[in-house]
Structure 1
Amino acid sequence: MDLGPGRRAAPPRFVLRGVSEKNREGKRTARQKVAAARDKQKSRDKRRRALIVGASVVCVLGLAAVIGVVAANAGKDDGSEAAGPIVAPSGAQGKDGLAIPVGEESAKSTLVIWEDFRCPACKAFELAYRDTIHELADAGQLKVEYHLATIIDGNMGGTGSRKAANAAACAQDAGKFTPYHDVLFTNQPAETDDAFADENKLIELAGKVDGLDTARFQECVEGGKHNSWVEKSNKAFLAGGFSGTPTVLLDGENIYQDGSMTPAKLKQMVQDADK
């Protein structure tokens, strides 16, 4: 249609509508892309949170398992129990055959001693009291019952307490318990040094006792003949509710716990009971 000079005809309306619809479609497509991207990000975030939670649960369960293992092994020796039958040493007496007796059966006084060959306090007791104990036992006035424990193995780790106790039981088989018992305490290593876990060391110390270092003794030590018996003795100690080693009982009375006992006082008490 001719509008006259200088005037142009307006573009057809359908062209404007087409452009507008394309713009709207483009905006709608852009919004959909943004929404899709947002949904993907949410999905990734959800998976990441799930992985983090899962990993945290695994860590907590793993830590709980470690704590359980540590708690389960507290107080034990090296975490393994000796296999095989329980073989008591020759002449063992008392309940379950767990006492190694020294002295006359007819003695009027009985001294029960719970000891650990790695225990420094046990060494201190032995060095202070053993001459008096030997004197009273030799005189027929005192019977001594030695019970062996392995608490240092449990507290410090290692197997020296158990292996030394087994070696002492082997010495009992040979009729040499008392002198070998004394040699072990005289040559006790530092509490943190598990030197008695070495059977060669225990056999070497047997050379300090006349007639003990024999093939039979060596086989007994190296084979752990009395290991199960030692562990049974230690379980009896733990079940007894004692506060530690040494535990020293004179006719059933704990005489060493409060620190007031002396060798002279022990000697007087035993001699008075013998009158």
Structure 2
Amino acid sequence: MSEKNREGKRTAREKLAVEREKQKASEKRRRALIVGGAVVAVLGLAAVIGVVAANAGKDDDSEAAGPVVAPSGAQGKDGLAIPVGKDSAKSTLTVWEDFRCPACKAFETAYRPVIHELTNAGKLKTEYHLVTLIDGNMGGSGSRNAANAAACAQDAGKFPAYHDVLFDNQPQEVEDAYARNDKLIELAGKVDGLDTPAFRKCVEDGTHNSWVAKSHQAFNKGGFSGTPTVLFDGKNIYQDRTMTPAKLKRMVQEQNKG
């Protein structure tokens, strides 16, 4: 065999050896990635389980946060409804609302004049149920704190006016301005006679927080799809695409004729 041929075979063997080493290194990296990926997946699953457990704990805490103190004059099952209007009214409107909810503000803007007109005339009774849906979806505590402040306003006999002020001054959904008690107290200054030491203490102490949590639990158990949920004598009229303030007024007037 010539020297040239021996040199060619030696070079081929060396190249093959180098290629085998590359393959071994590549296989080693692949196995490391598989193991590492499995570890990450396990950690990710643990994180998800932790979040679920944390959320479950929050739900439990809402029930055990303290005694449920209903606002003055609250009615209905478990005293979860704040009534506006005369009990003798022949028509009842049940409204589930969240003070951080933009759709709730839109409903209030469109329907408030008619609702006020009919309640003031003694033809309609409106029952308000307060919900903390946006707190759960976006984070924060503005829905709860605003609902507590509204319940404090109910104690002072000023719920309707303060309810309207909260919606008129609603912050952007992503902002949690109503988590600040000083903001809620500042807005109380827009309602004559509401900003008192008793109201401030009620707001700052979160007197009705557990009642608000119980109201939200009732909303969840009711199987409602979102806020606002508006029931006219038990029928969900907010889902009726043909509903208008004028149509609601006609429905109430028809009932009052009977």
| Inter-CA distance 160–74: structure 2 relative to 1 (3 Å threshold) | same
Task: Tell me, in whole angstroms, the C-alpha distance in 1 between the residues paired with 2:243 and 2:114.
Answer: 13
Task: Tell me, in whole angstroms, the C-alpha distance in 1 between the residues paired with 2:170 and 2:93.
Answer: 23
- CA shift for structure 1 position 180: 0.0
Task: Tell me, in whole angstroms, the C-alpha distance in 1 between the residues paired with 2:153 and 2:227.
Answer: 22
Q: Secondary structure at the match of 2:190?
A: coil
| Inter-CA distance 265–188: structure 2 relative to 1 (3 Å threshold) | same
1:175 alignment partner AA: G
**C-alpha RMSD of matched pairs (Å):** 2.6
1:203 maps to which of 180, 185, 194? 185
1:61 maps to which of 35, 42, 45? 42
Q: Secondary structure at the match of 2:88?
A: coil
Gaps of 5+ in 2: 1-31
Correspondence 1:174 to 2:165:
no
Structure 1 stretches of 4+ moved >6 Å? 51-57, 74-79
Task: Tell me, in whole angstroms, the C-alpha distance in 2 between the residues paired with 1:74 and 1:269.
Answer: 42
2:192 alignment partner AA: D
Q: Secondary structure at the match of 1:225?
A: coil
1:91 maps to which residue?
Answer: 73
Q: Secondary structure at the match of 2:70?
A: coil
Q: Secondary structure at the match of 1:265?
A: helix
Task: Tell me, in whole angstroms, the C-alpha distance in 1 between the residues paired with 2:158 and 2:95.
Answer: 18
Q: Secondary structure at the match of 1:158?
A: coil
1:237 alignment partner AA: F
- CA shift for structure 1 position 256: 1.1
Q: Do the aligned partners of 1:109 and 1:143 also contact (CA within 8 Å) in 2?
A: yes
Task: Tell me, in whole angstroms, the C-alpha distance in 1 between the residues paired with 2:111 and 2:156.
Answer: 24
- CA shift for structure 1 position 233: 0.3
Bigger Rg, which one: 1
Correspondence 1:139 to 2:121:
yes
- CA shift for structure 1 position 79: 9.6
2:173 maps to which residue?
Answer: 191
Cα deviation digits, residues 99-142 of structure 1 (max 9, x gap): 00010101110000000000000000001111110110011100
Task: Tell me, in whole angstroms, the C-alpha distance in 2 between the residues paired with 1:270 and 1:74.
Answer: 42
- TM-score w.r.t. length of structure 2: 0.82
Q: Do the aligned partners of 1:183 and 1:208 also contact (CA within 8 Å) in 2?
A: yes
- CA shift for structure 1 position 74: 6.3
1:271 maps to which residue?
Answer: 253
- CA shift for structure 1 position 258: 2.9
- TM-score w.r.t. length of structure 1: 0.77
Percentage identity across aligned positions? 68
- CA shift for structure 1 position 60: 3.8
Q: Do the aligned partners of 1:91 and 1:100 also contact (CA within 8 Å) in 2?
A: yes
| Inter-CA distance 233–143: structure 2 relative to 1 (3 Å threshold) | same
1:5 maps to which residue?
Answer: none
Q: Secondary structure at the match of 2:106?
A: helix
1:190 alignment partner AA: Q
1:125 maps to which of 107, 125, 149? 107
2:140 maps to which of 158, 182, 201? 158
Correspondence 1:218 to 2:200:
yes
Task: Tell me, in whole angstroms, the C-alpha distance in 1 between the residues paired with 2:53 and 2:173.
Answer: 23
Q: Do the aligned partners of 1:153 and 1:161 also contact (CA within 8 Å) in 2?
A: yes
Task: Tell me, in whole angstroms, the C-alpha distance in 1 between the residues paired with 2:59 and 2:136.
Answer: 7
Gaps of 5+ in 1: 1-50
2:82 maps to which of 93, 97, 100? 100
Task: Tell me, in whole angstroms, the C-alpha distance in 2 between the residues paired with 1:89 and 1:76.
Answer: 26
